[in-house]
Structure 1
């Protein structure tokens, strides 16, 4: 069927500029964990000479990806639109920069972005659209414009399938008793997965903004051209197979996108690479240590520990006696006032290093000195650890991270929990304080010769081998990316 004529107010200049190239627009969600992999995906698309890639973001988020775009050898176009007015201070346009009390306003901005997205798409008329999962309205706009729309997922298929299956029984979950109730996930292949209710994302337990929009997001996804996921088949094979059958017309598993572009190059990758002297210093510091001896600690761009918990973590790292590299949100000045234990910095300076703010995680995980990664189990972190062959000490905090942890600990067995048996919760106020002694024991147990950490590292190395093969010429992720671009080229004018 021929593509419908553009509406009278549309500007068709962009389409006429270079009709030979497939013009693909990418619209990421307002979170660094989504923004980075989608930018990497756009760079991969732009590596094909038949494609012109354009990233559509708000001004502050554009600044976050400027280094990645400028370093890319493939030209990337950038379009900006104003961040919706929701009462946030100027420049706060991302979950990573919003405070916990402001995060709900970021989600409020999602719905208000609809009009800006529609105006941009009608004005520029791209040939294809890759839109992040929260922007469900993109499917209807793409249908009207006669272009294929793909949903982008920054998390893997294992957590997606689990959340989908639990969403269908959320009324049972909500009425199942106390938060200690353990929920068995129905309809999964392979190992049975069981999760306490208190560790589930809130939209599966009670009504909130996400529970109201989840059905609309999934409906839009199922009617779209397909889904692009930052994962690789070797990490979650039986789940990828199931996902193709139940959650998309077409599914393209193209990850790990960071590995495709940069490997573990410490100087590459914009936000993923070393952009300052302190970042280079941390790699030089790692050079001092023996292979597999250092514990790397990082809880992502959006985590908020209490001052008391940060102090316990600091003391637990010290008492473990292991060399550690710790990436801490915020700045040292405020931390010194709020939580750094007296004399701690002086006591650990021989064995510990703290990076304040952003850390070049890919480069750090790729360093041979790193033997363990204490992580919140955000999907990017799980992928990057798997790509680097580093075993994980898991400490999930919010949303799907408790689900991701089960892939790491129970399915791939490439990691171990920091603590078992305590009260863990997706709501920080309901989670118990993790003591320095628990942290010390977890590190010691994981790093000892012949212990659980050694087995986890062996599994992680196997995942790293499969990840590398996936993104190489002829690998599953490379073939998926090539097929995706070819499918979009063939669909041009026939949607």
Structure 2
């Protein structure tokens, strides 16, 4: 019997990358691949349960820990990802990316996998892997739309001639659709000189030169952008999403086990498709003023709502972050839950009728998986671009706010969405069958994605077939056929290959 294909996965230090990459690793393992997920100890705790469940099902999958350079970057022991640091210390996490290069190369030499799937920031691994004759795949936690649009903005820089503060809408050049954006909503790295901006050319070069890229999408979702990406932004593209469906995380009954009666039992008391779920992930948080406006707007809307309030991000007395008596007044009609919530279970619950979301890609995909219309409220990074996909291409949502917005925290703090605007949008989401024809059309299109996403990962589906294509390509891989005599290359990024093992 032939030895199974061995693949090493290395995610970036943030849960929104670690968790979906682990879901993808489970998909590989379910197809007979021998999988190792390399993470630092604290980040390993985030995925232990998922990996153990896959292993208990008989799949070859394990966690391999390597040290996080906390002391070297000035972080306390156990602080190892972007979700656990203050925004002012995010640069220390990115500094760790540079410091673990030697460790990653050592892992490659020790493990000698048949392939390595490494996250976007680890661009050096393309060349380290090539030196060892190993194909590297770049992991994207987003879809083709985001990669293509960011690539064209970076390539053409249509905003370069705009004066600071000029928010005149302009077309994103050289993409399949006519989509406009404004300067304040551009991804952060196109507006400020941060770590991503410093490394963007190297990241793009690495993605173009590696074996291929893996994206959290499926061809039928965004075919024009999948076609645009292959050959221009990558040599090969494999569209393997939605990642969560590979590990069947959309099951409401499974979520009830972890929910401890907080959310799903309350949803059981509500009417079908009546509840508006408000959830903004765990990375960014609002000002106190915006929390108050949110509370007032939700209360005034008259709609049942479930609000996931990230208490750990609120300094001081958390009670002061909501209007006095708010939770008493909305009791029975609304529910505020502090801390973790089973978002997938909530979205797939029959009572949930809309999703107020920041459009982080994982949340966007979870909304599509559930077939729930979205109320868009992007906050940073590529989320304002994703809003164009949701509103203009897929047409499965409505915008919360048409006023000024910004991708930079210091500017976003001054862009408060008032209670009246929140109430006006949320109040539209009456149960299905209302007289709001525009909303009914949005709701119908959103519902169509529930079966479409599930079909993608089933045998014969677009993502299932692409995973088969990728595994077959890796089994047939030959360094000589791929690179000829150039496997032993010299690049500016290979200095760490001769460093002492970490």
After TM superposition, is the score higher than 0.5?
A: yes
The answer to whether the Cα contact below 8 Å between 2:400 and 2:425 also exists between their aligned partners in 1 is yes
Alignment map for 1:205-354 (pairs within 5 Å): 205-262=191-248, 264-268=250-254, 273=255, 276-278=258-260, 280-331=261-312, 334=316, 336-354=318-336
Conservation of the 8 A alpha-carbon contact between 1:446 and 1:454: no
Is the aligned partner of 1:135 residue 2:122?
A: yes
Other-structure match for 1:196: 182
Distance 1:245 1:447 in 2: 45
Q: Name which of 86, 90, 109 aligns with 1:122.
A: 109
Write the distance in 2 (CA, Å) between the matches of 1:267 and 1:27.
31
Matches of 1:277 and 1:135, distance apart in 2: 35
- In the alignment, what sits opposite 2:62? 77
> Contact 1:133–1:152 at 8 Å: present in 2 too?
yes
Please say if residues 59 and 82 of structure 1, whose CA atoms lie closer than 8 Å, have aligned partners that are also in contact: yes
Partner SS state of residue 408, structure 1 = helix
In structure 2, relative to structure 1, the CA distance for the partners of 1:210 and 1:290 (3 Å cut) is same
- The answer to which of 431-440 and 144-153 deviates more is 431-440
Equivalent residues of 1:174, 1:206 under 8 A apart: no
Query: Is 1:373 matched with 2:355?
Result: yes
Greater shift in the superposed pair: 86-95 or 292-301 = 86-95
Aligned position for 1:491: 477
- In the alignment, which residue of structure 2 is the partner of 1:32? 15
Distance 1:99 1:344 in 2: 28
Aligned residue-pair number: 469
2:272 aligns to what SS in structure 1? coil
Alignment match of 2:27 (pick from 44, 57, 61): 44
Q: State how far apart, in whole Å, the 2-side matches of 1:474 and 1:231 are.
A: 16
Partner of 1:13: none
In the alignment, the residues of structure 2 paired with residue 250 and residue 344 of structure 1 have an alpha-carbon distance, to the nearest angstrom, of 53
Match of residue 486 from structure 2? none
What is residue 491 of structure 2 aligned with on the other side? none
- Which ranges of structure 2 fall in alignment gaps of 5 or more residues? 483-502
Shift of 1:261: 2.4
Pick closer, same or farther for the CA change 1:439–1:194 going to 2, 3 Å. same
Q: Secondary structure at the match of 1:434?
A: coil
Q: Deviations over 1:149-187 (max 9, x none)?
A: 1000001111111110010133x5233123313231111
Deviations 1:346-367 (A, max 9, x none): 1112111222222211111111
1:390 counterpart SS class: coil
TM-superposed CA distance for 1:19, in Å, is: 7.3
SS at match of 1:281: coil
Q: Select which of 390, 401, 410 maps to 1:408.
A: 390
- Unaligned runs of at least 5 residues, structure 1: 1-17
Q: Secondary structure at the match of 1:102?
A: helix
Q: Which residue of 2 aligns with 1:15?
A: none
How does the TM-score come out when normalised to structure 2? 0.90
Task: Supply the RMSD in Å over aligned alpha carbons.
Answer: 1.9
Give the superposition deviation at 1:335: 5.3
- Any idea what SS the aligned residue of 1:372 has? strand
Equivalent of residue 375 in structure 2, options 393, 398, 411: 393
Deviations 1:261-289 (A, max 9, x none): 21621355xxxx456343x4311111111
> In the TM superposition, what is the alpha-carbon distance from 1:53 to its structure 2 partner?
0.4
Partners of 2:10 and 2:38 within 8 A in 1:
yes
**Equivalent position of 2:488 in the other structure:** none
Look up the SS of the partner of 1:491 in the other structure.
coil
Asked if the contact 2:145–2:225 (Cα under 8 Å) also holds between the matched residues in 1, the reply is yes
Instruction: Tell me how far apart the structure 2 counterparts of residues 328 and 297 of structure 1 sit (CA, whole Å).
Output: 9
